[in-house]
């Protein structure tokens, strides 16, 4: 057991450097403030597509009880000289309140668009801090990095981190989704041969299907499926996509429609839907794309992540109007 806990500690102590510099959240976009009780008051709206659990003390205790390896890892971390005081208090004083507060702070930073601070802070808090930290890293790479090579390296690094985390919390849904999301984003940057030989397509489809069965109310799983299948059809067509992966134009559209039935007021779904339709057939779906983008631009973003997705919708709509 000692050898195993030392191994787990090692992978969580090491925080891989980013492949590129952190890009700042644009100062032209809305500013968000979730200080104090505001975070909990708005939590359901902020997490409406993912239903991530609010990280309060009871949730923390439940996670430690549910995952023995998590408890072992935290014990090992708490013995280190540079351990975060909140991790130390949770293990040595059985006081989870400080750690709950620090985890909430990671999410505050994320929703306010301070992705670098969210990542760095979360990485100090052990396995449970690492999960939202990785999500901030993925959001930053997806929404703020333009260079394809840098994006690819970031998604691959985040996937590796997610894999490490899943050795400790093996069936925690948000950690599982983090890995799937990283793989799907990586696929978008691969050529057709690389994508098909990577194993990421089948893996992502299977994991998304499992997550949908466990949590059918979470819109993000359907939107991710829709984007994945649009990418498959774009590369190999509906006929071969259907035979090989069960992916068609209709299945992609249906997945996004399912997501919108669950949550219709979040810019990310509209942004991803518009991109997917453009990949499926930009000409045939021209009117649908414009309608989706117009709806996206009229929404009221609740976070920096949502505002960035809306910014992308505005950019695509502007280009669409030019093309008309």
CA separation for the pair 113, 305 (Å, rounded): 7
Residue 213, classified by CB atoms within 10 Å of its CB into exposed (0-12), middle (13-18) or buried (19+), is: exposed
Report pLDDT for 14.
44
Q: Please tell me the predicted confidence (pLDDT) of residue 19.
A: 53
pTM, two decimal places: 0.93
pLDDT at 322: 84
Q: What is the pLDDT of residues 112-135, one digit of tens each?
A: 999 999 999 999 999 999 999 999
Domain boundaries, the chain: 1-7+38-158
Segments of the chain scoring below 70 in pLDDT: 1-20
Comparing CA positions, the residue from 319, 311, 300, 314 lying closest to residue 26 is 311
Count other Cβ atoms within 10 Å, centred on residue 181. Answer: 24
Residue 313 confidence (pLDDT)? 98
Write down the pLDDT at residue 13.
44
Q: Which of 134, 140, 138 is nearest to 119 (CA)?
A: 134
């Amino acid at each position: 057991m000692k050898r195993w806990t030392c191994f787990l500690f090692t992978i969580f102590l090491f925080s891989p450097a980013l492949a590129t510099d952190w890009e700042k959240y644009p100062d032209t976009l809305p500013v968000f403030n979730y200080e104090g009780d505001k975070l909990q008051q708005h939590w359901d709206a902020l997490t409406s597509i993912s239903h991530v659990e609010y990280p309060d003390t009871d949730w923390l205790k439940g996670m430690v009880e549910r995952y023995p390896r998590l408890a072992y890892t935290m014990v090992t971390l708490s013995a280190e000289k540079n351990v975060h005081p909140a991790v130390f208090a949770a293990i040595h004083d059985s006081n989870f309140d400080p750690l709950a507060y620090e985890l909430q702070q990671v999410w505050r930073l994320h929703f306010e668009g301070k992705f670098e601070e969210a990542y760095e802070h979360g990485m100090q808090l052990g396995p449970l801090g690492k999960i939202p930290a990785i999500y901030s890293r993925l959001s930053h790479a997806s929404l703020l990095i333009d260079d394809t090579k840098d994006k690819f390296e970031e998604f691959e690094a985040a996937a590796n981190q997610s894999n490490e985390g899943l050795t400790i919390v093996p069936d925690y849904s948000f950690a599982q989704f983090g890995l799937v999301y990283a793989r799907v984003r990586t696929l978008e940057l691969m050529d057709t041969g690389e994508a098909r030989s990577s194993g990421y397509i089948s893996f992502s489809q299977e994991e998304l299907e499992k997550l949908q069965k466990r949590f059918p109310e979470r819109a993000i799983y359907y939107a991710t499926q829709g984007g994945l299948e649009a990418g498959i059809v774009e590369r190999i067509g509906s006929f071969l996509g259907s035979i090989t992966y069960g992916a068609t134009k209709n299945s992609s559209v249906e997945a996004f429609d399912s997501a919108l039935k669950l949550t219709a007021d979040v810019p990310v779904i509209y942004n991803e839907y518009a991109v997917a339709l453009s990949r499926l057939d930009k000409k045939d779906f021209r009117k649908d794309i414009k309608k989706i983008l117009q709806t996206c631009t009229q929404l009221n973003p609740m976070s920096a992540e949502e505002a960035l997705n809306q910014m992308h919708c505005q950019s695509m709509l502007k280009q669409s109007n030019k093309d008309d």
